[in-house]
Amino acid sequence: MAAHLSRRFELLSRPPDGVVAGPTAEHRGRARGIPGPPTPVRLASLVVFALGAIGVGCSSGAASDGQLSSPGVPRTLADGSRPVTLPPQLRRYRGLPVVGARTLSAHSTALRSCPPDPSLRGRTSLAGAWLSNDGLSVGYYVKDTPPLWACDAARSAGRLRRCAGGASPVRTPDRVARAGGSVGMCSGSKRVAFMWIASPARAGWALVDHGSFWVAYRTPKSRLLRISGTKGVNPQGSFRIAIAFLEPGGRVFAEEIVRGFVAG
């Protein structure tokens, strides 16, 4: 089944932090002189408000820790480690905290939780591995067939345990996405879904909506990225999630609703 991607620049009712929206009706009214210039009292209030906003918007290590301690925002990744420290401009998006997922190397000990399927050993190379607050995703390129295989693990009884995995009939990012993203699902204290997506060539970051916070992934040069989430998971076998794509410097250029399906 094909994954469905729809661009939604109007995804939420207000623009993301740092992004200037087009002129609203209120702005147009002021351009016509309705209402008039602010009074001295109002101007002073605006100055106080602006100073307060600057204080709230400043990002430092302490501010980032404070944001991650907000209710409903995880302070650790699935293995118990701290989230990746993000650049200041990425620490909040649309007024919500952003948690940094970790990209893992082929030498990471975490990959022991998700080795290749025994039938594939000796024929694989690492396509990518990512650790989020939801769990661990590891992708393997395979010599011969299937061309791409994924292993997903979630935290259970204090450790990461493999809970899903499967083959993809193709390995090219766009074709993998169109084929449904090879969604994997894990059941535990909450249902977690994992899915391949194809990041745009100009993207440096992909931010995945988790309701009360976002999770930021560095996008790989291959454009093939396996993300996870607990929002929009359908137990019948589908996964629907909002993703924002940002340039390496943090400028947002696209928001999409991505849908994927369990293969078969």
pLDDT at 10: 38
**Per-residue pLDDT for 1 more than 80?**
no
Least confident range of 1-5, 95-99, 213-217, 259-263: 1-5
The secondary element (H helix, E strand) that includes residue 46 is helix 40-57
**Per-residue pLDDT for 151 more than 50?**
yes
CA distances from 257 to 58, 123, 187, 223 (A): 30, 34, 23, 17
pLDDT at 189: 77
Select the more confidently predicted residue: 168 or 62. Answer: 168
pLDDT at 72: 84
Alpha helices, DSSP H only, in 58-188? 61-68, 173-178
pLDDT at 14: 39
Task: Give the C-alpha separation, 173 to 114, whole Å.
Answer: 21
Select the more confidently predicted residue: 44 or 81. Answer: 81
pLDDT at 69: 59
Least confident range of 60-64, 145-149, 251-255: 60-64
Q: What is the side-by-side order of every strand in the sheet holding 102-103?
A: 102-103, 124-131, 135-142, 148-156, 159-168
pTM, rounded to two decimals: 0.75
Task: Give the C-alpha separation, 79 to 131, whole Å.
Answer: 8
* Average pLDDT across the chain, whole number: 81
Parse the chain into domains and list their residue ranges. Answer: 4-15+58-261
